[in-house]
Amino acid sequence: MSEEATELRLLDVPSELLASILRQAAPATPPLTIHNASVADDRSGSRRPGLTEQHPAYPILLAKVTEVALRSVCTQFRAVLPLSQARLLNVDSHRNAPRRETPHRVRAGTNVWLPEDVVLSDDTPTVLAYEVRADNSQSECIGAFSSSRVRWAGGGAGEDALTWYAAPHRHDFTFRTRMYEFLHHIARHNRVRLPHAQWALVRVELTTTRAAYWVGGQLVAEADLTREGTRRATLGWFGMVTYTSAYSWRNAVILQRPVSGESHM
């Protein structure tokens, strides 16, 4: 069969069948927002998000890239394959950026909260995945979930954040409540230190009753929040908080679903 005949037969396929075939190559995906998106130049000179294959959002991004490529083939493909939503916020390239000049740096004494409202479930984990970089040998990279977004003021000003910890110089902290108060019912798995001046992937799974987090693919800790009397409120925000040191973060994605086959909750 000639190439021309093959093309004509493909174009004669009913729209519903063609859409089904294309969705096998580019499955439908949920909307994707990447906060502090890091971009890289591909071989064609185009800039694309620089998620690693280990990032939980990588399969979603790959499907969206495939979707864009298929839609560029012809008008018929564009007609049957709607473009799904993807947003890159605060975009920057880290290829040659000095550590102190990146816009993805959170300064000591400040907190940064992602703008997305998060509604937690009692049983299905919400996933936050992002990369952090310890910009000095004692950077404390502290992630958080809070309903009030109140900064640390000594513990008596309504601080309600559940926080998790990673640093290059210590590994004794894991989950803490009300920003910096210890939790007692924690299952510790791996004592992980961040590499200095290198990016590391952090993943958090959170419900109203349980929490778990990984650093560099290693499960660090799990917490039973019901035993602590610190059950999470349903509505809140994820963020990056600091104590006395700065650090950088990028490629933060919130997934309102469990990660298939990897949840420990």
CB 240 within 8 A of CB 251: no
Phi, psi angle pair for 6, to nearest 5°: -60, -45
Q: Are residues 118 and 84 in the same domain?
A: no
Count CA atoms closer than 13 A to 15's CA, side-chain side.
8
CA 117-121-126 angle, 5° bins: 60
CB atoms within 10 A of CB 182: 12
Q: Are residues 63 and 119 in the same domain?
A: no
Q: Are residues 79 and 39 in the same domain?
A: yes
Which of these three, 88, 115, 147, is where a domain ends?
88
Q: Are residues 42 and 158 in the same domain?
A: no
Q: Are residues 64 and 153 in the same domain?
A: no
CA dihedral 161, 155, 138, 192 (to 10 degrees): -50
Q: Are residues 221 and 117 in the same domain?
A: yes
Q: Are residues 166 and 109 in the same domain?
A: yes
Q: Are residues 49 and 124 in the same domain?
A: no
Q: Mind listing the pLDDT tens digit of every residue in the chain (265 residues)?
A: 444 444 444 567 788 888 888 888 888 888 899 999 988 766 655 667 888 999 999 999 988 988 888 888 888 888 888 888 888 888 886 555 555 667 788 999 899 999 999 999 988 999 999 999 999 999 999 999 999 999 888 877 788 999 999 999 999 999 998 888 888 888 889 999 999 989 999 999 999 999 999 999 999 999 998 876 665 678 899 999 999 999 999 999 999 764 444 455 5
**12 found inside a domain:** yes
User: 245 is in which domain, residue-wise?
Assistant: 99-255
Which of these three, 33, 54, 88, is where a domain ends?
88
**94 found inside a domain:** no
Q: Number of structural domains, the chain?
A: 2
**262 found inside a domain:** no
